[in-house]
Amino acid sequence: MITIFYKDDKQILRSNDMAMLEELGHNDILWIDLNEPNGNEKRYVEEFLQFPLQSRAQAEEIESSSRYSETEEAIFANSNFLIAAPNTYNEEPVSFILAEEILITLRHSPLRSFADIERRLLASHRIYPTGYHLLIAILENRIDMDADMIEVLAKEVAHLSKRIGLGEKVDEEILLDINQLQENTMLIRENIIDKQRVISGILKSDKFPGDIYSKLNVLMRDISSLINHTDFSFERLEYMQNTVLGLINIEQNKIIKVFTVVTVFFMPPTLISSIYGMNIELPFAAIGRWSFPITLGLMIASFLITWVYFKQRKIL
């Protein structure tokens, strides 16, 4: 789908008719948003711009030159936007193109950041006089959403830490929860660093309006703060993981200790019963009916002696 935002009598109008590109001039159009476009819509935009749009594969490349680049015709920027999914996040690559103060965005799924900026643009278009301002607004909105994700993640980490602190049974499920939170933390951190690379490229450029650079410096400080928060969350998860593994080892040691003690307790009685199981002449064998009680008494006595020994050594 294509959405064209254009100026008309000091207001911003929106149209989904790609034929509008033939009627409007470059000075009239502010933003062309391509959301899951078909081949015909992409060709229309490419003919309007007189250069090809980036493919999804190009938008997903991680090289610095692929995240931000400039040519005589346009400025290209690519960034990944996180979409919340059950227990994790999915990355959606987004391409930004700036040509003659027109912003062209290419994406393949609906994104909340774009919906927010669309509402703001239609409500107060004077804040976004050019496509440059729209690009910075989208990135700023996305970074705010990343900050919200980090806040939610921090609450999940705190809740899991509380579960462990309250003595909840530690098992495989808790380890899997910690591992999933670690994966989410790394995803958010990589996503924030991705925005940092794009904004660093913009800061090095001299093609953007002068009033934008002060906002970019604020965004860079915000990004640095968010990276520190994700690092703290990851370190906290590592500490929790080590704690859970330590508790599991303690539980396993207790189980092994029980089996060891029981085995040692029954070793002397087993030895006596093994001796009296031999087919040879043994003490007390000729006593008659008292031979079994005496042998049983020896076994019980050996058991008690072992128990007293362990008790005095405080092993039990």
Tens-binned pLDDT, residue by residue, of the chain (316 aa): 888 888 887 788 888 887 777 777 777 888 888 888 888 888 878 777 777 777 666 656 655 556 788 888 888 888 888 888 777 888 888 889 888 888 888 888 888 888 888 888 888 878 888 888 999 999 999 999 889 888 988 888 888 888 777 766 777 788 888 888 888 889 889 888 888 888 888 888 888 888 888 888 998 999 999 999 889 888 888 888 888 888 778 788 888 877 877 777 777 777 777 766 666 566 666 666 666 677 777 777 877 877 777 777 766 6
- According to the model, what pLDDT value does residue 59 have? 58
Domain annotation covers residue 184: yes
- According to the model, what pLDDT value does residue 56 have? 66
- According to the model, what pLDDT value does residue 290 have? 67
- According to the model, what pLDDT value does residue 57 have? 67
Q: How many distinct structural domains can be found in the chain?
A: 2
C-alpha dihedral, 182 to 184 to 190 to 191, nearest 10°: -160
First to last CA, the chain: 74
- According to the model, what pLDDT value does residue 311 have? 75
Q: Where are the beta strands (DSSP E) in 68-144?
A: 68-70, 75-85, 88-99, 102-107
- 213 and 288 inside one domain: no
- 24 and 134 inside one domain: yes
Domain annotation covers residue 261: no
- According to the model, what pLDDT value does residue 62 have? 55
Angle at 198 between CA 62 and CA 128, to 5 degrees: 140
- According to the model, what pLDDT value does residue 299 have? 75
Domain annotation covers residue 258: no
- According to the model, what pLDDT value does residue 282 have? 60
CATH classification at residue 129: 3.30.460.20
- According to the model, what pLDDT value does residue 283 have? 64
Residue pair 159/177 in contact (Cβ under 8 Å)? The answer is no
Residue pair 32/104 in contact (Cβ under 8 Å)? The answer is yes
Q: Provide the residue range defining the domain that includes 288.
A: 266-312
- 234 and 281 inside one domain: no
Long-range (24+ apart) CB contacts under 8 A made by 236-244 are 236/157, 236/161, 237/157, 237/178, 237/181, 237/182, 237/185, 238/182, 240/157, 240/160, 240/161, 240/164, 240/178, 241/175, 241/178, 241/179, 241/182, 243/164, 244/164, 244/170, 244/174, 244/175, 244/178
- 163 and 303 inside one domain: no
Rg of the chain over CA atoms, in angstroms?
A: 35
- 90 and 122 inside one domain: yes
- 185 and 272 inside one domain: no
